[in-house]
Amino acid sequence: MAAVESLSNPRARLRLDWGYLAYRLRRSPLTVVGLLMIVGVLLAVFIVPLFLSINPDKIDLAARLAAPSWQHWFGTDEVGRDIFTRVLYGGRISIGVGFFVVFVSAGSGVIIGALAGVIGRWVDTVVMRIMDVIMSVPSLVLTLALAAALGPSLWNAMLAIALVRIPAYVRLVRGQTLTLRESGYVKAARVFGANPWQLMRWHIAANALPPIIVQATLDVGNAILMASALSFIGLGAQPPTAEWGAMVATGRNYILDQWWYSGFPGAAILFTAVAFNFLGDGLRDLIDPKQKVR
């Protein structure tokens, strides 16, 4: 089994040339910008509130719908809650949703896709037919329908978004698996008796990982957008949860005079989604052979 053991150890292959990485990054400033933006958001949303003593639910009827000021950087809402604080705390929910959704959909999708590709035969056919059927409905509409069917709650919204995204990963990984299955070293490993699990570990780690990482990064942004959209319609987070989409929805009634109510939470969504898209696009360019610089 020694041959299989060494084949299934991906660490032997992943060597990172930091100098080359820095060179590529310098030519793609947006990627770095995206990364910094994400770090900024994560810090602001998860770390900063630990140090400031602020309460997102603190009601202050005397300062209702106040414009942005030094006391309330983003203004206040209709019961006087500080919107800046709510945006920070809401960020935990929105970003948490993003990561959770991607974790679930990418995780399951990758496993299903890899197994389907490696086991092959009728398992592969059945799985792909199911995925095709799911993908035949425009994903956004399907998410809407699913979320509506399951009932309005943040949990159901996350589930709906995650489920609908799974086929994309299944296809991605299965495609990679099929190509790699025919390659020399995988065939050799099979001859030595490697079972599907070992084969799966090998190609996922070494070869299928980069496109998955790119897709996952982009999906985090999309999941955040989708979750906030569902909340806006009323299918996701329910008020008084300080989720960004729900805040924009409530702020809608005050948009003409108190623009900050919808303005800032929405801007937070935009900022975060932009960050993940920059990073995801940049990663995609890094691994795209067409972009390999001379």
Partner 1 sequence: MAFLNIVRRRLGFLVLVVFGVSVVTFVISHMIPGDPARLIAGPHASNAVVANIRHQLGLDLPLWQQYLHYANDLLHGNLGVSIRTGRPVAQDIATFLPATLELVVVALLFAVLAGVPLGVASAVWRDRPIDHVSRALAVTGISAPAFWLGLILIAVFYGQLGWFPGGGRISSILVPPPRITGFYLVDSLLEGNWADFVSSARHIALPAITLGFVNIGIIARQIRSAMLDQLQEDYVRTARASGLSRARVILGHALPNALIPSVTVLGLTFGDLLYGAVLTETIFAWPGMGDYVVASIQALDFPAVMGFTIVVSFAYVLVNLAVDLAYLALDPRITEVG
Partner 2 sequence: MTVMGRTAEVADEALLDIRELSIEFPVYGGAVRALDGVSLEVRRGEIVGVVGESGCGKSVTSLLALGLLPRDGFRVRAGAIGLLGTDVLTASERELGELRGSRAAMIFQEPLTALNPTRRVGAQMIEVIRRHQPLGKAAARDLAVRALGEMRIADAAEVMRCYPFELSGGMRQRVLIALAFSGDPAILIADEPTTALDVTVQRQVLTLLRERARRSHTAVMLITHDMGVVSQYTDRVYVMYAGRVVEAGSTRDVLSAPAHPYTRALLNGLPEGAPPKAPLRAIPGSVPDLRAPPAGCAFAPRCEHAAARCGERPPMFTRTGAAGHTAACWLEHMEGKSV
Binding positions for partner 1, rule: CB under 8 A: 27, 29-30, 132-134, 136-138, 140-142, 144-146, 148-151, 221, 225, 228-229, 232-235, 245, 248-249, 251-252, 255-257, 259, 262-263, 265-267, 269-270, 273-274, 276-278, 281, 290
What's the DSSP call for residue 70?
S
Sign of CA dihedral 47, 105, 267, 54: negative
Choose the binding region for partner 2 from 16-24, 103-111, 243-251, 280-288 (rule: CB under 8 A).
16-24
- Total of chain residues touching partner 2, rule CB under 8 A: 5
140 vs 244: CA distance, rounded Å: 19
Q: How far is the CB of 34 from partner 1 (least distance, A)?
A: 9
Contact 209, 127 (CB under 8 A): no
The item of partner 1, partner 2, none sharing an interface with residue 256, based on CB under 5 to 8 Å by kind, is partner 1
The item of partner 2, partner 1, none sharing an interface with residue 23, based on CB under 5 to 8 Å by kind, is partner 2
Q: How far is the CB of 245 from partner 1 (least distance, A)?
A: 7
Copy the structure tokens of residue 274. 């932009």
Q: How far is the CB of 256 from partner 1 (least distance, A)?
A: 4
Query: Which CB atom, from 78 or from 281, has the smaller least distance to partner 1?
Result: 281
CA distances from 33 to 24, 44, 168, 273 (A): 14, 16, 27, 13
The single residue among 1, 13, 23, 137 that binds partner 2, judged by CB under 8 A, is 23
Choose the binding region for partner 2 from 15-23, 154-162, 166-174, 249-257 (rule: CB under 8 A).
15-23
Contact 198, 92 (CB under 8 A): no
Query: Which CB atom, from 19 or from 184, has the smaller least distance to partner 2?
Result: 19
Main-chain phi, psi angles of 104, to 5 degrees: -65, -50
Q: How far is the CB of 152 from partner 2 (least distance, A)?
A: 51
Nearest in space to 44 (alpha carbons), one of 271, 277, 226, 249: 271
Main-chain phi, psi angles of 82, to 5 degrees: -70, 120
Contact 31, 283 (CB under 8 A): yes
The single residue among 20, 155, 185, 197 that binds partner 2, judged by CB under 8 A, is 20
Copy the structure tokens of residue 256. 């003409």
The item of partner 2, partner 1, none sharing an interface with residue 100, based on CB under 5 to 8 Å by kind, is none
254 vs 290: CA distance, rounded Å: 49
Copy the structure tokens of residue 126. 């059945």
List residues near partner 2 by CB under 8 A: 19-20, 23, 293-294
